[in-house]
């Protein structure tokens, strides 16, 4: 089966830290503390990641990482989600360089959603007029939150440079971006969260969960912590994701999985 998907490269946008409660509710280790009504913060470090899909019809970038000046520009959000490992090599343009690409070589930027650790590097694509693809619900909700003054996970500093950029919002349940690359609305975390299903020329399927799934434990527990947006969407889409994952030769790429780099190679190595 020739879908046109030649290679997939996983990008390393650094590491972020946060309280475990954002990701997983009541892990077993808290039970005793909860019984004593003493819940202490439990910090977890997670990678921030993206991907490049090399397709015969174009180069697709999934997510862009955090703003390189995050510590200065995120305000109070930095205290909640500090980027604990980040250097120049984690900038999107330098991750692209690892695989011999320049930002102008990217034909499509796809956002799993528009939170600060996914849309923060996108400003470099605005002057290049690179098509920016997001679910319409996500763009609308991000701007709505900012308009209400709910600045945190959505950062004006990320979205302001993208005002009037080459946006291509899609609506409905799914979009085939290119043969073998499907964008599927799941919601749950944010209203316009999508997952991306990629079928390679070799017959493997990789499903990029974005932050619909933050950590692998979610799959078993079927629960998300404080970052849960809509419980009904979450559970329904989670069962749908699990169903898709049962197909042969299908692998999940969970963007913030702390063990991601043990499971899959980083760019310049490729998945096929």
Could you list the residues that contact Zn ion (CB under 5 A)?
A: 117, 211
3-state helix, strand, coil in the chain (%, to 5): 30, 25, 45
The single-letter DSSP state of residue 190 is S
- Closest separation in Å from C-beta 28 to Zn ion: 24
Asked if 164 contacts 127 with a C-beta cutoff of 8 angstroms, the reply is: no
Q: Report which of 118, 115, 175 is spatially closest to residue 150, judged by C-alpha positions.
A: 115
Q: For Zn ion, which is the closer residue by CB, 208 or 264?
A: 208
What SS3 class is residue 141?
A: helix
Asked if 159 contacts 143 with a C-beta cutoff of 8 angstroms, the reply is: yes
Q: For Zn ion, which is the closer residue by CB, 3 or 90?
A: 90
Q: For Zn ion, which is the closer residue by CB, 128 or 157?
A: 157
Q: For Zn ion, which is the closer residue by CB, 54 or 233?
A: 233
- Closest separation in Å from C-beta 83 to Zn ion: 11
* Ramachandran bin of 187, using left for φ above 0, alpha for ψ from -120 to 50, beta for the remaining angles: left
21 CB neighbour count, 10 Å cutoff:
17
Q: For Zn ion, which is the closer residue by CB, 206 or 212?
A: 212
- Closest separation in Å from C-beta 129 to Zn ion: 26
Cα–Cα distance, 211 to 255 (Å, whole number)? 7
Q: For Zn ion, which is the closer residue by CB, 16 or 162?
A: 16
Q: For Zn ion, which is the closer residue by CB, 95 or 200?
A: 95
- Closest separation in Å from C-beta 112 to Zn ion: 8
- Closest separation in Å from C-beta 115 to Zn ion: 5
Q: Report which of 84, 100, 189, 185 is spatially closest to residue 135, judged by C-alpha positions.
A: 185
Structure token pair of residue 103: 């930002």
- Closest separation in Å from C-beta 180 to Zn ion: 25
Asked if 190 contacts 206 with a C-beta cutoff of 8 angstroms, the reply is: no
Helix (H) or strand (E) holding 251: strand 250-253
- Closest separation in Å from C-beta 138 to Zn ion: 13
Neighbour order of strands in the sheet with 5-19 = 83-85, 5-19, 43-55, 58-62, 108-110, 132-135, 167-170
């Amino acid at each position: 089966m020739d879908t046109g998907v030649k290679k997939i490269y996983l990008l390393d946008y650094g590491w972020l830290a946060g309280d475990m409660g954002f990701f997983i509710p009541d892990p077993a280790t808290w039970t005793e503390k909860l019984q004593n009504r003493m819940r202490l913060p439990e910090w977890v470090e997670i990678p921030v990641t993206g991907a490049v899909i090399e397709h015969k019809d174009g180069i697709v970038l999934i997510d862009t990482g955090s703003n390189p000046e995050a510590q200065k520009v995120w305000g109070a959000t930095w205290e909640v989600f500090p980027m604990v490992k980040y250097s120049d090599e984690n900038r999107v343009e330098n991750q692209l360089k690892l695989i011999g690409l320049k930002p102008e070589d990217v034909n499509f930027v796809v956002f799993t959603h528009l939170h600060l650790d996914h849309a923060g590097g996108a400003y470099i694509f605005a002057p290049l007029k690179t098509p920016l693809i997001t679910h319409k619900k996500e763009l609308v909700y991000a701007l709505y939150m900012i308009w209400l003054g709910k600045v945190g996970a959505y950062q004006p500093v990320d979205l302001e440079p993208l005002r009037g950029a080459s946006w291509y919002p899609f609506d409905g349940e799914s979009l085939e971006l290119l043969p073998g690359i499907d964008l599927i609305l799941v919601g749950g975390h944010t209203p316009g969260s999508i997952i991306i299903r990629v079928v390679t020329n070799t017959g493997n399927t990789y499903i990029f969960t974005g932050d619909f799934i933050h950590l692998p434990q979610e799959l078993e527990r079927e629960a998300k912590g404080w970052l849960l947006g809509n419980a009904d969407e979450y559970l329904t889409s989670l069962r749908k994701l699990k169903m898709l994952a049962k197909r042969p030769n299908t692998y999940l790429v969970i963007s913030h999985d702390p063990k991601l780099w043990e499971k899959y190679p980083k760019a310049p190595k490729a998945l096929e």
